[in-house]
Amino acid sequence: MAWLTDLPWQVSALGLVCLLGLGACAGPAQGAKPDLSVILADAPAPMLADYGLFTDIAATKPAARVRAYDLINPLFSDHASKKRLVFVPEGVRAQYSQTGVLSLPVGSVLVKSFEYAETGRIETRLLIHKSAGWVGYPYVWNEDHTEARYAPIGAKRDIEITTPAGQALAFQYAVPNQNQCKTCHQSGNAITPIGPKARNLGSDQIAAWTEAGLLSGAPEAFAQIPSIAAGQASLDARARAYLDINCAHCHKSDGAASNSGLWLGWDEDELVKLGIGKHPTAAGRGAGQLNRIIAPGAPDRSILSFRMASAEAGVAMPELGRRLIDENGVTLINQWISQLPND
Amino acid sequence: MTVKKLLFVMSASVLLAACSRTETEAPPQLAQEETDSIGEIIVSERDGSRIISLAADEKFVENLQTALITADEGDTIIMPEGLFNLTDGLSLDVDGVKLLGSGEGRTVLSFKGQEGSGEGLLVTSDNVVLGDFTMQDTAGDGIKSKGADRITYRDLTIEWTGGPLSTNGAYGVYPVESTDVLIEYVTVKGASDAGIYVGQSSNIIVRNSLVEYNVAGIEIENSIGADVFGNTARHNTGGILVFDLPDLPQIGGHSTRVFRNIIDQNNTDNFAPPGNIVGSVPSGSGVMVLANENVHVFENSFSDNRTANILLVAYQDPFADERYNPLPRNVVIRDNDYSGGGDDPQSVLADLATPLGGRLPEIVWDGVQGWGDTVAQEVNLVIAEPEEIGFVSLGLGSYPLDPAAISPSTTRPQATPVKEPGPILIAHDVKP
């Protein structure tokens, strides 16, 4: 526990009750399955294990109807490895959508665990579709990886990792707090998932979800987003895919950055809204002494590049969820801006 | 029954319920004035809403953010006296919460070591009251409230303690995309953009506040219906700005009254990071109206703003936003007091003032009436001041500029009266 900030007082209070031996707070039983009474309760469960999403203490073995999935393009998260699971209650299915996130029914849970080879699992975030809408809860693992506790204010952990490029880095990993969950997952006044869009899951997974009884309404073929990492798609497509998954959850008309008028979603086709030739609005020193979000042909004069290449609070974009610079992402976006025509 | 409701209450039956996963029991009722505590938090209840008092101990910062996250609608969170160091931004997303300190300069939240987040405090819920504390040295903005209707900022100080530096955060107080915004008795010092900035909002009051050593003292931008009065704006680069900019979700700002303010010596060199629109504000600007409509500037006291006491200007850059009109129009200037100023115009206005003897009069209009291929537009500027109050049109004509066509004139433009908007009324504007 040494690496965690001290637990918030109310979680400690609940933990105390668990120590007193109240059965409801015990760990998962053998053969556990997701517990809808916990999933749909008004309040977060004190421990991740309480939801019954896993059959083992270390949360590596998903329970029945809890299915692993991957995204074609993930958000950059300080090089953390992310393990994603989806739970859809028995008797109901998600509905296919081509443009937006799959419509997951009430009782569904999206589970995302963050880990590094050097640290093991650090945190598990839940997005739960309650009767009144989606909510996000952060859970933080203890050092022994035997339990993950609800941590509404998140946590900080000093870690050392080796990046995929072989660089050794020491930095403070930040588990976002519960409000920060909403900042990224905001859609108007509501919270929505970001990742599980059909185009970002791909036809193989969509077919598998349908086969497993989790999803209905999916066509046999639909347009997928190109993989950024695979590098086969055009530069324009990969750059737009990068902006879509890394930026557009806030930079959209009903997102946390709506007031900027900078909208970076895959479907955006207005050049000014994409930042091309657009002046900064409320960037402050985040503008980096530059006066265009994207100066076509000139990444070194583009605020977008400047903020992606910064790790400094008040300058760095995205504001949340990263402390490191996504060097590959900066390179991709710089290449893209370099070849944009300067009319 | 919610766990978070229970967490503040230390009793065996309540805690049992919290873990029982049943939803059948009625919520426990706290007796009036009953007080319980967990660690360093005192929770009392008065008139049906909770008062959560935090102690000045080593747990304060995490207790504060926890309280902001787990608060119930209507809760009051009270911060103690003390200087507290924060390394991450705070956020509030619960409606109806009051976050109160124990007085400006007594409760001080210092963000000198801030490592994360774009502001010191982000509010995204409605009916929030913020008051009685000081916030220092945030990495980005001080307090931002977005989509936060019926918010009150009262008796707050937001400051950057190193003086006016381009590395300071952009805005001190920053409500945006909100309706019914009340800001009063707020002090902001050192913002590298605007001390008090209200953007893309409607129905706004900014009054009785002090802004100094910011780039812009107060800025109303892309907003509809604002009363800005009783404020002192001094030693900023520009005192009070009323702007409208293209390419934002809400454009077409109009109906702002700027009155009975003290606008004095806004002569600080422009220290905005280049690239931002306020970077183009000449040092020594008292009031500046840019591309806004139906703006009334009256009964203010102007003194010694070295470029000009009042500037009426067009947006200069090319734009593609078809909704946008870059000209100031239907502006009324009347019944202000003027003392000094205009004696040392700065930046681009220094050159433009050269043919006028290097000085500018009290009221300066750029004389722009068109842009691109548009024909000249009627701007209707009502200059209702005594004859001895100077006026000049710089006669720039249209953007992009044609230097050969520039023709300055001191003749006041013909104008028709503009009906003044009625006072801004805000339902939650009641004396505490």
> What's the rounded Cα separation, in Å, for the pair A207 and A5?
43
Window 174-213 of A: residues touching B by CB (8 A cutoff) are 174, 177-180, 182-183, 186, 189
Per the model's pLDDT, the better-predicted residue between B237 and B167 turns out to be B237
Q: CA-to-CA distance for A12 and B239, rounded, in angstroms?
A: 50
pTM for this entry: 0.88
- Mutation target among A4, A10, A25 for the B interface, most CBs of B within 10 A: A10
Partner-chain contact A178 B69, CB within 8 Å = yes
Residues of A in contact with B276 (CB under 8 A): 280, 283-284, 287
Domain boundaries, chain A: 9-216, 235-338
Q: For residue A53, which of A110, A132, A91, A136 has the smallest C-alpha distance?
A: A110
Burial of B315 (0-12, 13-18, 19+ CB in 10 A): buried
Min mean pLDDT across A14-18, B190-194, B201-205 is at A14-18
pLDDT of residue A144: 92
Average pLDDT in the B38-54 region? 83
Best mutation target, B13, B88, B119, to test chain A (most A CBs within 10 A): B88
How confident is the model over A94-104, as a mean pLDDT? Answer: 91
Q: What is the ipTM of this complex?
A: 0.85
Supply φ then ψ for residue A303, to 5 degrees.
-60, -35
What's the average model confidence in pLDDT over B264-271? 97
Q: Does the beta carbon of A117 lie under 8 angstroms from any beta carbon of chain B?
A: no
What beta strand segments (E) does chain A contain? 66-69, 81-87, 94-95, 109-116, 120-130, 133-141, 148-150, 155-162, 168-175, 186-187, 190-191, 215-216
Name the residue among B285, B182, B291, B169 with its Cα closest to residue B229: B182
The percentage of chain B sitting over the pLDDT mark of 70, rounded to a whole number, equals 91
> Half-sphere exposure (CA, 13 Å, Cβ side) for A301?
14
Instruction: Give the C-alpha separation, A135 to A126, whole Å.
Output: 8
Token representation of residue B237: 């680069």
The predicted structure's pLDDT at residue B38? 46
* Model confidence at A104: pLDDT above 80: yes
Average the pLDDT over each of A10-24, A291-305, B88-102, B237-251 and give the range with the smallest value.
A10-24
DSSP A46-114: SBGGGG--BSSTTS-SB-TTEEEE--SSPPP-TT-EEEEEEE--TT--EE--SSSB-BPPTT-EEEEEE
Give the pLDDT score at A3: 37
The answer to whether B349 and B365 are in contact (CB under 8 A) is no
* Selected residue with higher pLDDT from B401 and A169: A169
- Closest-CA residue of B relative to A320 is B117
* pLDDT bracket for residue B431 (50, 70, 90): low
| Amino acid A4: pLDDT | 38
Distances (CA, A) of B309 to A266, B186, B358: 47, 23, 15
Subunit contact B93:A179, Cβ cutoff 8 A: yes
Structure tokens at A93: 């299915």
Indicate if the pLDDT at residue B263 is higher than 70.
yes
Per-residue pLDDT at B13: 30
Query: pLDDT of A112-131, one tens digit each?
Result: 999 999 999 999 999 999 99
**Is the pLDDT assigned to residue B289 strictly greater than 70?**
yes
> Is A184's pLDDT higher than 50?
yes
The answer to whether B423 and B203 are in contact (CB under 8 A) is no
A-facing residues of B in 87-146 (CB < 8 A) are 88, 91-93, 114-118, 122, 124, 138-141, 146
C-beta of residue B215 within 8 angstroms of C-beta of residue B271? yes
Q: What are B166-198's pLDDT values in tens digits?
A: 999 999 999 999 999 999 999 999 999 999 999
Question: Would you say residue B34 has pLDDT above 50?
Answer: no
What band does A13 get if pLDDT is binned at 50, 70 and 90?
very low
pLDDT for residue A276 is more than 70 = yes
Residue written as tokens 């009031």? B287
What integer pLDDT is reported at residue A247 of this predicted model? 96
pLDDT digits 0-9 by tens, B319-372: 889 999 999 999 999 999 999 999 999 999 999 898 889 999 999 999 999 998
Q: Which domains does chain B have, with CATH numbers?
A: 1-30 (no CATH), 38-134 (no CATH), 140-432 (2.160.20)
Residue B238 has pLDDT above 60, yes or no: yes
Q: Residue A231: what pLDDT?
A: 80
Kindly state the average pLDDT of the residues B251-257.
97
- Tokens 């109160």: give the residue: B100
Q: Are A202 and A176 in contact (CB under 8 A)?
A: no
Would the CB atoms of B171 and A10 count as touching at under 8 Å?
A: no
pLDDT recorded at residue A209: 95
Min CA distance, A212 vs chain B (Å)? 30
Tokens of A68: 């692993």
pLDDT of residue B245: 95
- Of the residues A4, A158, A279, A323, the best mutation for testing chain B's interface (the one with the most B CB atoms within 10 Å of its CB) is A279
pLDDT for res B15: 31
B3 confidence band (pLDDT: 50, 70, 90):
very low
Q: How far apart are the first and last CA of chain B?
A: 32
pLDDT at A176: 92
- Contact of A319 with chain B, judged by CB distance below 8 Å, is answered with yes
Residue A31: what pLDDT? Answer: 54
Q: Is B349 on the interface with A (CB under 8 A)?
A: no
Q: Is the pLDDT of residue A253 over 80?
A: yes
For B188, phi then psi, to 5°, come to: -130, 130
Cα-based distances in Å from B402 to A35, B382, B399: 73, 26, 8
Structure token digits, residue B140: 């980005």
Quote the pLDDT of residue B404. 83
B156 touches chain A (CB under 8 A): no
> Could you say which of B23, B91, B199 has the minimum Cβ distance to residue A259?
B199
For the stretch A259-292, what's the b/e string if a residue is b when 16 or more beta carbons lie within 10 angstroms of its beta carbon?
Answer: bbbbbbbbebeeebbbbbbbbbbbbbbbbbebbb
A256: closest CA of chain B, how far (Å)? 8
A343: tokens are: 């009319």
CB–CB of B66 and A13 under 8 A? Answer: no
Residues 6+ apart with CB under 8 A from A230: none
Q: What pLDDT sits at residue B277?
A: 83
Q: Give the mean pLDDT of chain B.
A: 89
Residue B410 has pLDDT above 70, yes or no: yes
Mean pLDDT, range B315-320, rounded to an integer: 89
Strand, coil or helix: what is B80?
coil
**Residue for token digits 């737009």?**
A240
Answer yes or no: is pLDDT of B10 > 80.
no
Q: Round to whole Å and give the CA distance between A151 and A138.
A: 6
Average pLDDT over residues A212-219: 94
pLDDT > 70? residue B12: no
Instruction: Output the CA–CA distances (angstroms, integers) from residue A89 to A51, A111, A211, in the order listed.
Output: 13, 14, 15
Determine whether the interchain pair A179/B122 forms a contact, defined as Cβ–Cβ distance below 8 Å.
Answer: yes
